[in-house]
Amino acid sequence: MISIDFTKIRALATRSAQANIASAWTWSQKTLAQWDADITALEGLIANETVKRVQWRNAAELWQSDVNKIQDITRQVATLGLVQFRNDPATLKLFEALGTDGESRSDVYAQGLAAQAVWAEADETWEISAALTPASFGQLLSSCTAAQKAESPALTAWRRAAVELNNKAELVDRDNIAWYTEATRRFPVGTVEGDLIRSAVPSTSRPEQPVGQAVISNLLVSGSDIHFDCEAPGATRFTYLQQMPGSPAFVVIQADTPQTHVMLHGQAAGLHRFKAFGSNSRGQGPDSEVAQVTVAASVAA
């Protein structure tokens, strides 16, 4: 697996070295203009992959938010139904049979549908609370289905962008290697050109370790400003997500940034939740635990 970051750095260095030794030798296989075009194309694909990944992550977070709510309500229906219908043995058996420990999204959704069916069979007029009724549960299940349908094409678009990026990076990497091989053969150590090439163009990179779980620390509020730090073993980039007051799910607020400090200004009053993950050329590490902080209403106003 190649490092896209290293491939880009090496391509920039190769292009620069080729320009610097142009009076002594010109590589016939690729002009400076072609290097420029490939580097620009690679940068564009890197940016596109990031955009598509953020769009997918936001869609996945919205879907996961609905799944979490479904599991919570399913557990409430199963638990409170045992109390509500304790004097109806036949109905009680229906609630006792409900599963509430699904681990996959599909299992949680299926258990939610089962809870909805049992609820309707037992007493469709029974309301757990003013906000939690058979109708509101049905709306949540429908919302979850819509969120899943939105997540699927977003995932496909991200995967396509990642493939396109990797394909281009592999082509550029092969050119990097081919140019360096021929250039160092033509100009041995001790020549001006040979020493310039070997000192300016990186030919190897240190393999990166898998990224560890991100940790958010020093989460502080000052007026309507929020600050926190983040670290993750092996990470060279970080992605930060925030769930603002009243928002149904987390959204990405920064992606692929080298910054380990976040400062947000003018935040709305209420509870703010944050999570993050680190990444490097080998992929991303586990999400951090959720950290949360409250901005006071009087301050935000």
pLDDT of 30 higher than 70:
yes
Provide the 3-class DSSP secondary structure of residue 6. Answer: helix
Residue 261: strand pairing partners: 229
pLDDT of 40 higher than 60:
yes
Per-residue burial over 229-254, b = 16 or more CB atoms within 10 Å of its CB, e = otherwise: ebbbeebebbbbbbbbeebebbebbb
Residues of the chain with CATH 2.60.40.10: 208-300
Backbone torsion region of residue 182, taken as left when φ is above 0, otherwise alpha when ψ lies between -120 and 50, otherwise beta: alpha
Q: Which two tokens stand for residue 32?
A: 């400076």
Phi and psi angles of residue 261, each rounded to the nearest 5 degrees, phi first: -125, 140
Q: Please, is 275 exposed, middle or buried when counting C-beta atoms within 10 Å of its C-beta (0-12, 13-18, 19+)?
A: buried
Rounded average pLDDT over 240-259:
97
Q: Which of these ranges, 37-51, 107-121, 198-212, has the smallest mean pLDDT?
A: 198-212
Helices (H), the chain: 4-20, 32-84, 89-96, 105-123, 134-186, 192-200, 297-300
Say what percent of the chain tops pLDDT 70: 99
255 compared with 206, residue with greater pLDDT: 255
Summarised one tens digit per residue, pLDDT across range 225-248 is: 999 999 999 999 999 999 999 999
Rounded average pLDDT over 166-190:
97
Summarised one tens digit per residue, pLDDT across range 183-232 is: 999 999 999 999 999 999 999 888 789 999 999 999 999 999 999 999 99
Rounded average pLDDT over 66-77:
98
The pLDDT value given to residue 206: 80
The helix (run of H) or strand (run of E) holding residue 263 is strand 261-264
The pLDDT value given to residue 129: 96
The pLDDT value given to residue 300: 54
Where do we find the tokens 């029974």? 126
Q: Which two tokens stand for residue 86?
A: 């304790």
- Please list, in sequence order, all residues whose beta carbon lies within 8 angstroms of the beta carbon of residue 31, skipping any fewer than 6 positions away: none
- Domain 208-300: give its CATH code: 2.60.40.10
The pLDDT value given to residue 301: 53
Rounded average pLDDT over 280-285:
92
Q: Which two tokens stand for residue 209?
A: 């370790």
Rounded average pLDDT over 34-54:
98
Rounded average pLDDT over 90-105:
97
Summarised one tens digit per residue, pLDDT across range 286-299 is: 999 999 999 998 75
DSSP 205-259: -PPPPPP---EEEEEEEETTEEEEEEE-TT-SEEEEEEE-TT-SS-EEEEEEE--
Q: Which two tokens stand for residue 52?
A: 């598509």
pTM of the model: 0.90
The residue count for the chain: 301
The pLDDT value given to residue 228: 98
